Chains A and B, each alone.
Chain A
């Protein structure tokens, strides 16, 4: 019965999409989260551990790689529009990385007095795979791999807030340009933000993919420098 968790995941997602289309109260809650909650209840009731679940849903996670590669198509199709906003992309990527990473480093070093937590809390501003790799690179072995896994899971927790609050806040403050909306969603919320931005349209989706990519590059390049700078002040 190894196909049951996959069936439950697919059914939970289909039901969550149906429910959010039917009930207006659920429109602020991304179907991804509702489905994840339902799957978590299923795992809890059957006392199934995460490793077994992860193996059972490998066909889904396996497709995540080519899907991220597929984001090249909206970027190519919207390249003329995206070119006009090069400055916006540069500013959002740089500012997000500086702000998020510095907050994480300062909290980790000065409040928690822990080097590992400082790296984990600053690396999680990027998309989960980059967060894990950067934390691992900065801390080295031993301990780097575990810190990388923690950074990856915290990156997902950070990215979750994007699809919930991002679109509402942007609309409330009058940001209606799809490129601007997408750029912010992608830089701040990574892959989950990009999935949400794609629902708004191809322009927002393309901008979000570029934003996510730039934020990942900025984190991988800037975080080591910021880390050594803040660490030197701490010691």
Chain B
């Protein structure tokens, strides 16, 4: 059961879902959304004031982490909204990923400018770097894990 009390395929007609419960959930969700937007705006305000090369949302996230840590914001105020939004986070990336199949003309022309070899090399670099990093980290951490399990304390 999730925080919202809803589960896919779950038909719940129990008395928990009264008008009062739904209204209190809605209020809780709205309050959470207001807090998240307030921190997003604070982050965006900070980057435009200080000319930082970061997205406002990342600064907003750092500010909210600090606010949660020192107790200005209580976790329960944002829990319902944050969990709902994070559950749907992959969906929010779909419009960004469409760019892969419809790349901007500037990107295509920038890559095509270097001919077949330049294009191939760049594509290998683009896809190969994360692959190499994953391999290196996996190998290093996996070996450490194996060493640890080989030497029980």
Give how many A-B residue pairs fall within 8 Å (CB-CB): 267
Contacts of A57 on B, CB cut-off 8 Å?
95
Determine if B138 and A169 form an interchain contact, defined as CB atoms under 8 angstroms apart.
Answer: yes
13 more A-B residue pairs beyond the given contacts A66-B37, A76-B65, with a C-beta to C-beta distance below 8 A: A32-B93, A64-B93, A66-B85, A70-B85, A71-B86, A100-B130, A125-B129, A160-B100, A169-B135, A188-B130, A189-B130, A195-B90, A220-B52
Could you pull out 28 A-B pairs where Cβ atoms are within 8 angstroms?
A: A10-B91, A33-B97, A36-B97, A53-B98, A63-B92, A66-B40, A70-B61, A70-B78, A70-B82, A70-B86, A72-B64, A73-B75, A77-B75, A117-B114, A121-B126, A154-B126, A156-B96, A156-B97, A158-B126, A159-B130, A160-B97, A170-B141, A175-B138, A175-B145, A177-B141, A188-B130, A188-B133, A191-B93
Given contacts A112-B122, A130-B53, A137-B53, contact A176 B145 (CB under 8 A): yes
Interface residues of B in 1-40 (CB under 8 A from A): 33, 36-37, 39-40
Interface residues of B in 100-128 (CB under 8 A from A): 100-104, 106-107, 110, 113-114, 118, 121-122, 125-127
Closest chain A residue to B127, Cβ basis: A161
Q: A60, A72, A170, A175: which contacts B61 (Cβ < 8 A)?
A: A72
Are the C-beta atoms of A76 and B75 separated by less than 8 Å? yes
CB-based nearest A residue for B145 = A174
Query: With the chains together, A189 CA to B60 CA distance in Å?
Result: 20
By a CB distance below 8 angstroms, the chain B residues around A156 are 96-97, 99-100
A residues apposed to B, CB below 8 Å: 9-10, 12-13, 30-33, 35-37, 39-40, 43-44, 50, 53-54, 57, 60-61, 63-77, 79, 92, 95-96, 99-100, 103-104, 107, 111-112, 114, 116-117, 120-121, 124-125, 127-130, 133-134, 136-137, 146, 149-150, 153-154, 156-162, 165-166, 169-170, 172-177, 180, 184, 188-189, 191-192, 194-196, 198-199, 205, 209, 213, 216-217, 220
From B56, B82, B98, B101, give the contact of A73 (CB < 8 A): B82
Residues of B within 8 A of A154 (CB): 107, 126
Residues on B close to A: CB < 8 A? 33, 36-37, 39-40, 43, 52-58, 60-62, 64-65, 67-69, 75, 78-79, 81-83, 85-86, 88-104, 106-107, 110, 113-114, 118, 121-122, 125-127, 129-135, 137-139, 141-142, 145-146
**A96 and B36 in contact (CB under 8 A), knowing A43-B98, A195-B93?**
no
